[in-house]
Amino acid sequence: MIEIKGLSFAYSGYKVLDNITTSFGPGRIYGLLGANGVGKSTMFKLLCGLLTTKQGTIEIDGSSPIGRKPGFLSKIFYVPEDFEGPDMSIGHYASGVAQFYPNYDAELFARLLSEFEIDAERKFTTLSLGQRKRAILALALALRTEYLFLDEPTNGLDIPSKAEFRKMVAAAMDEKRTIIISTHQVRDVENLLDHIMILDKRAVLLDKSVSDIQSEYLFDISANVPEDALYVEPGLGGCCFISNNTSGEESRVNIELLFNYINSKKK
Amino acid sequence: MNEIFDFNRFGKLVAYECGSYVPRFTKVLVTMACIVFALWITTVVFNNTIGFLGRKSLLGFLFGISCFIGPFVAYKYMNDRKKGYAYAMLPASTLEKFTSMLLICMFVLPMISYITLVASDALLYLVSMCGVGGFIDIGVYNPLVIYFDGYSFSISIAVSFMASISMSMMFNSIFRKSKIIKTILVYMAVSFVSVILVSIIAINLSHDILYRISDFISDFGVEKLMNICYLLCIAVSLYVTYRRIERVNY
C-alpha cells in the first residue's frame, strides 16, 4: 500500500506538487494523468526515493523511500520515460540486475523478449528508443516487483508492441501487485486501467476507480447531444459527450474526454 | 533483510559492478598500452635508448593518470540525471555501494592499470630487447617486488595515490557533467588560492615566527605532515562520497 500525505515538492522554488494526499492499493492498475509539468514524473521519482520529499510523507508498506534501503528497493521498479540503457547487452544487464530481485522470473523475461522480438544479445546502445523501451518493459514485468511505476510506457512503441504491452501488463497483474502508469497516450491504456487519477499542481482533480466513474458518468457519441450533457466535444461520427449516469447503464470510459471534462471544470 | 550490510548481496554487487562498470575502463587501458608502444616506436625510429628512469617516469605518470581518472570512467553515470537512476535503484545498501566503489576504484582499477602497464613494458622489452635494460615496475602497489634500482615502496606514495583516488571518487559523485575538467579546475583554484594565502601569511609574519614554523615542520617531519594531510583528504573525500551515494537526487 502506498500512502502519500500532504506531499509538496518544488524545483528551485518552482512548485510542482502542492499538498497532495492520496493512496494506491494493491491489485490495481492506476492511470496517473495530468497536463505537462504537473509533476507525474516527479511523483514517480519521489515514490522511488530518487528525489527527497521536502514536505509531506510517502510510505510504501510502511517504509519511507528516503535512504533507498535495499528491502524497499527490491519491491519496486521504475521505468522512466526516456530510458537510455547502459552500454551492455540486454541479457547481461538483466542477469546482473535480476539477482537483486527475489521474484525474478528468467523464463518470463525470455518469453517477453521473444514476444517483443528483441534479441537479448544486443546492446542497449544499438537499439532504437522503441526497442529499448520494449526490452526494459520486459525486464520490469519479469522482475515481478510488488510496485511497478511506468512513465509513458507506450511512447516510442509501434502499434503491435502497444497491443503486446497491454496484453503483458494484464497478464502480469495479480492481487498483490500495484502498477502505476503515467501517460498522455490514454487510448493505449484505456482498457487496462482499474483506477484513474488526474493530477494537478494544486490538487488531485480526480481519484476514482473506473467502475465508480462508470456508475457516475455516461460516455456516449451521438449527433443529438442531450441537454443535460456535462461536457461535449465534436467528433467525426457526431459529438462525444459526458452526462450524469441516471439510468445505471454502463458505458466504456473515454479517458481523454473525461480528462478534458475534469480540466474544464477546474478552469 | 539486513538493510545495512549483507555479505551475500555485497558479493553480488561487486561482481555486478566489476562486470558492468570495470569494462568501461578498457579504453583507458588500451590508450595507456598504446602510449607505451609509441614510446618504443620512438626509440626504434630515432635509434634512441631509454633508460629505467625515463620508462619508469612514463609508467608512473600513466599509472597516476589512470588512478585519477578511474572513478570518473567506471562510475561515470552514478549521478547522471537520466542514466544514474539505475545505479540508485539497485537494491543494495549505501554502505554496500560505497564499499564496492571503494574496492573497485582503490584496488581493482589500479591493479588492472598496473598489470597493463608493466605487462606492456615487459612485452616490448621481450619483443624488442631494444633500448631498455630489464623489467621494471611502478612500485606503488606491489611492495613485494624486488626493485632493480632500489626504488623502494613508500607509504607516502601509496597514501598520496589513495588520496588522489578518493578525491576523484568525491568529485565524481559531486559533479554531474564535465567531471574531469571541473575537478582539474578545482585543483588549480585550490593551488592558486593556497599559494596566495601562504604568500600573504609569509609576508605578514615576522622572520622569527617563520623560522619557528620551519623548525616545527622539520622536527615533526615533512613526510609525516604530508601523510596527515593526505589521510585527512581521504577521510573527508570518502565521507562526502558516502553521503552523495546516500542522498543524491535524480
Asked if the model's pLDDT at residue B197 lies above 70, the reply is yes
Distance CA B163, CA B229 (A): 9
Let me know whether A154 and A262 are in one domain. no
The CATH number covering residue A101 comes to 3.40.50.300
Per DSSP, the residues of A113-158 read HHHTT--TTSBGGGS-HHHHHHHHHHHHHHTT-SEEEEESTTTT--
Q: What is the mean pLDDT of residues B245-250?
A: 95
Tell me the HSE value of B10 on the side-chain side, using a 13 A CA sphere. Answer: 16
Complex-level ipTM: 0.90
Q: Is A214 within 8 Å of A250 (Cβ atoms)?
A: yes
Whole-number pLDDT of residue B130 = 54
Which residue is closest to B12 within chain A, CA to CA?
A99
Mean of pLDDT values over A72-84: 95
pLDDT tens track for B1-11: 789 999 999 99
* Full domain range(s) for residue A112: 2-202
Residue pLDDT, tens place only, A230-263: 999 988 778 999 999 988 888 999 999 999 999 9
Q: A104 CA to chain B: closest CA distance, Å?
A: 13
Provide the pLDDT for residue B45: 82
Measured in angstroms, the CA of B241 and the nearest CA of chain A are apart by: 15
| Bridge partners for A25 per DSSP | none
Provide the whole-model pTM: 0.90
* Tens digits of residue pLDDT in A4-50: 999 999 998 888 999 999 999 999 999 999 999 899 999 999 999 99
A240 vs chain B: nearest CA distance in angstroms? 39
CB contact under 8 A, B89 and A76: yes
CA-wise closest residue to A42 among A80, A3, A70: A80
Residue of A49, A86, A101 lying closest to B20 (CB–CB): A86
* A17 closest CA partner among A60, A59, A46: A46
The residue-averaged pLDDT of B204-223 equals 88
The model's pLDDT over B51-103, given as tens digits with 9 standing for 90+, comes to: 767 777 888 889 999 999 999 999 999 999 999 999 999 999 999 999 999 99
Distances (CA, A) of B250 to A41, A148, A217: 11, 18, 40
B chain contacts of residue A70, beta-carbon cutoff 8 Å: 1, 3, 6, 9, 91-93, 96
For residue A7, tell me if it sits in a domain: yes
Together in a domain, A232 and A198: no
**Predicted local distance difference test score (pLDDT) of residue B158:** 82
Q: Say if residue A158 is in the same domain as residue A221.
A: no
Domain boundaries, chain B: 7-247
Tell me whether A224 touches chain B (CB under 8 Å).
no
Dump pLDDT digits (tens) for A173-193. Answer: 999 999 999 999 898 998 899
The answer to whether residues A12 and A96 belong to one domain is yes
Say what the pLDDT of residue A30 is: 97
Residue A173 shares a structural domain with residue A234:
no
